[in-house]
């Protein structure tokens, strides 16, 4: 078995929404395990910052800016990354827009923006991966769902709809793409404080969440990154169509 610390040596892995938060944590972690990481984000400056930090740490990373909710822009990013790093071994569909608000406050503009970033980008990410994947190796597609896909939380109507849709799409793709030697799985991260959630969840609310989580703590970007690395690794070679809860027991406890 390969060195556990270098499970992805030389493998090009494209991560959407990797300019900050969980996407950044995953990009850094995979690079630390030897992956060549494509850091894609709508904010090119943020993507450049993450990629530069990875390179300064001795890893390999390339930054790309683009609205990944637009099909051609996702394809452009995948083509550029594959042209530089080689055919893709995996894509991680992490990009999203987070807005919590009562259902009567959801506007057409907000819903369009959330659907584009959080759901349409998954379709385009899958298509771009199929176009630029390494045909000689097992492919991996990893999507992001959420505990809200299983539990009804007030003021998360748009976000829950998107994450529930991703859960269903993951199951469909596992059956559809499995015969092509492509594994499709999803993770459902629980309460994880990141810069992306600062405007929606206060420190006090995170403390309340921690008290309600069976493990009595919030998650960390490292918790999520380690779970992602496992699902992408050869150690998970017979796992397909799974939804891995990385939530300290939120879904299980109900």
User: What positions carry a catalytic annotation?
Assistant: 159
- Other beta carbons within 10 angstroms of residue 202's beta carbon come to 11
Q: 108-115 and 157-177 are packed helices; what angle lies between their axes, rounded to 10 degrees?
A: 30
**Separation between Cα atoms, residue 127 and residue 10, nearest integer Å:** 22
211 conformational bin, left if phi > 0, alpha if psi -120 to 50, beta if neither = alpha
The whole-angstrom separation of Cα 229 and Cα 22 is 13
Residues near 82 by Cβ (< 8 Å), separated by ≥ 6?
12, 88, 132
Token pair, residue 109, equals 């503009």
Cα 35 to Cα 21: distance, rounded to the nearest angstrom: 19
d(CA 55, CA 61): 6
């Amino acid at each position: 078995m390969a060195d556990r610390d270098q499970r992805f040596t030389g493998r090009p892995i494209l991560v959407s929404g990797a300019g900050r938060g969980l996407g950044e944590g995953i990009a850094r972690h995979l690079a630390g395990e030897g992956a060549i990481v494509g850091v894609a984000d709508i904010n090119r400056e943020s993507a450049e910052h993450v990629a530069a930090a990875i390179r300064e740490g001795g890893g390999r990373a390339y930054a790309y800016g683009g609205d990944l909710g637009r099909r051609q822009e996702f394809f452009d990013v995948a083509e550029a990354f594959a042209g530089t790093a080689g055919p893709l071994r995996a894509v991680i569909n992490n990009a999203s827009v987070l807005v919590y608000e009562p259902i009567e406050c959801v506007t057409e503009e907000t819903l369009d923006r959330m659907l584009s970033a959080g759901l349409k980008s998954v379709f385009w990410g899958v298509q771009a991966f199929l176009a630029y994947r390494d045909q000689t190796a097992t492919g991996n597609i990893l999507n992001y769902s959420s505990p809200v896909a299983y539990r009804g939380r007030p003021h998360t109507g748009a976000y829950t709809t998107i994450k529930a849709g991703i859960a269903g799409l993951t199951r469909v793709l596992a059956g559809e793409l499995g015969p092509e030697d492509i594994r499709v799985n999803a993770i459902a991260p629980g309460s994880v404080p990141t810069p992306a959630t600062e405007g929606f969840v206060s420190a006090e609310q995170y403390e309340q969440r921690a008290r309600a989580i069976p493990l009595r703590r919030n998650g960390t970007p490292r918790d999520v990154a380690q779970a992602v690395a496992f699902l992408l690794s050869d150690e998970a070679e017979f796992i397909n169509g799974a939804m891995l809860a990385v939530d300290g027991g939120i879904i299980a406890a109900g």
